[in-house]
Amino acid sequence: MNLISYEIIIPVLTFLSVIFIGASVMISRTEKKKALERRLRDGLTAGDKKTVSNKKTSILNFAEKIGNLASHGNASAELWEQLVRAGYFNKSAPAIYTGIKLLLFVVGLVISAVLVVPLQRYITAKLTLIFLGGVILFFIPNMLVLARLRKRHNEICRYLPEAIDLLEICVSSGIGLEMAWNMVADEIKNVSLVLANAMSLANFEIHLGASRIEAMRNMAKRTGVDALSSLAAILVQTERFGTSVADTLRVFAQSMREERSFAAQESAEKMAVRLIVPLVLFIFPAILITSVGPAVLTLSRVLTAGN
């Protein structure tokens, strides 16, 4: 009787746990959405905004001072390039970045020391754990900047073919390339603000006296998108040989779409390999318990009754 009750209780409890977990996830998402909508509707008061702004400014100024002391006011070219590609164009961004890393390192050391010192361990183990806590927080800004950089890069690569299509349509209708570039930058804001800002900045360089090709190459350096360098090279060849700009843009946009399709197919093929680990660790044991569990319980009941 007990075995039969276990056979009924275990699936029921499993089903209820799944229902409760799903309901908690849905409720949490709904509450977050409601809180965000409430915040957007009500907004912050002027005093709250001023207080938050002052706090952020004071913290960033303090981090900038620490960063300048650590780097002697000279940031590496690689760090500058990485921050620019991530969307941080302020001249004090490298100093703030370095200062935040050092502050997080100190905070990690303090938190690790508070947690580790009471433990009954050797002094070398304690020092190692304290140092690891500082190192973990020290590299958090690196991960955040890389994530932002990758997000901006993927967004530009996603919407660049559509922007080139719009550019090709404008050029085919008789509009000049510079005017078409401005029009596309204005239209693409509704889809991708990152790409629109990059195009607007390139247009600003052209107005300051830089050539279109040079501005596009600088845009490629700021965004890290190699397709823009290829586009600049193609436009150079187009101007040199006098071929149609519209046809060139059409072919280039088509090649970018094909490249994006190939990348998507490659990612889909890799997904089957990546799913092996969660399949073996989570899905397969659940299926095994569900399918074999009742048989094992029945067999143990029969053996027990036989004895």
Residue 145 falls within a domain, yes or no? no
DSSP readout, 69-110? Answer: HHHTT---HHHHHHHHHTT---TTHHHHHHHHHHHHHHHHHH
Residue written as tokens 């890069």? 153
Confidence of residue 228 (pLDDT cuts 50, 70, 90): confident
Is the model's pLDDT at 51 over the cut of 60? no
Structure confidence at residue 262 (pLDDT): 85
Residue 40 falls within a domain, yes or no? no
- The mean pLDDT of the chain is 78
Into how many domains does the chain fold?
4
125 and 160, same domain (yes or no): no
Is the model's pLDDT at 46 over the cut of 50? no
129 and 167, same domain (yes or no): no
Confidence of residue 44 (pLDDT cuts 50, 70, 90): very low
Residue 59 falls within a domain, yes or no? no
Share of the chain above pLDDT 70, in %: 80
Q: What average pLDDT does the segment 188-212 reach?
A: 85
159 and 267, same domain (yes or no): yes
Instruction: Identify whether the C-beta of residue 210 lies closer than 8 Å to the C-beta of residue 218.
Output: yes
Confidence of residue 15 (pLDDT cuts 50, 70, 90): low
Is the model's pLDDT at 117 over the cut of 70? yes
190 and 289, same domain (yes or no): no
Residue 79 falls within a domain, yes or no? yes
172 and 249, same domain (yes or no): yes
Is the model's pLDDT at 123 over the cut of 60? yes
Structure confidence at residue 87 (pLDDT): 82
Residue 208 falls within a domain, yes or no? yes
Q: Is the pTM of this model over 0.75?
A: no
Structure confidence at residue 54 (pLDDT): 53
Residue 212 falls within a domain, yes or no? yes
183 and 211, same domain (yes or no): yes
99 and 198, same domain (yes or no): no
Confidence of residue 125 (pLDDT cuts 50, 70, 90): confident
196 and 292, same domain (yes or no): no
88 and 110, same domain (yes or no): yes
Is the model's pLDDT at 263 over the cut of 70? yes
Residue 186 domain boundaries: 155-271
- Over residues 150-197, the pLDDT tens digits come to 998 888 888 888 888 888 888 888 888 788 888 888 888 888 888 888
Task: Kindly tell me the sign of the dihedral angle through the C-alpha atoms of 291, 295, 298, 300.
Answer: negative
Residue 123 falls within a domain, yes or no? yes
The alpha carbons of the chain give a radius of gyration, in whole angstroms, of 29
Is the model's pLDDT at 52 over the cut of 50? no
Structure confidence at residue 2 (pLDDT): 46
17 and 108, same domain (yes or no): no
165 and 217, same domain (yes or no): yes
Is the model's pLDDT at 48 over the cut of 50? no
Q: Contacts by 49-58 with C-beta closer than 8 Å and gap 24+?
A: none
Q: What average pLDDT does the segment 112-126 reach?
A: 80
DSSP readout, the chain? Answer: -HHHHHHHHHHHHHHHHHHHHHHHHHHHHHHHHHHHHHHHHH---HHHHHHHHHHHHHHHHHHHHHHHHHHTT---HHHHHHHHHTT---TTHHHHHHHHHHHHHHHHHHHHHHHHTTS---HHHHHHHHHHHHHHHHTHHHHHHHHHHHHHHHHHHHHHHHHHHHHHHHHHTT--HHHHHHHHHHHGGGT-HHHHHHHHHHHHHHHTT--HHHHHHHHHHHHT-HHHHHHHHHHHHHHHHT--HHHHHHHHHHHHHHHHHHHHHHHHHHHHHHTHHHIIIIIHHHHHHHHHHHHHHHHHHHHHHH-
Q: Which two tokens stand for residue 301?
A: 């009941």
107 and 210, same domain (yes or no): no
Residue 49 falls within a domain, yes or no? no
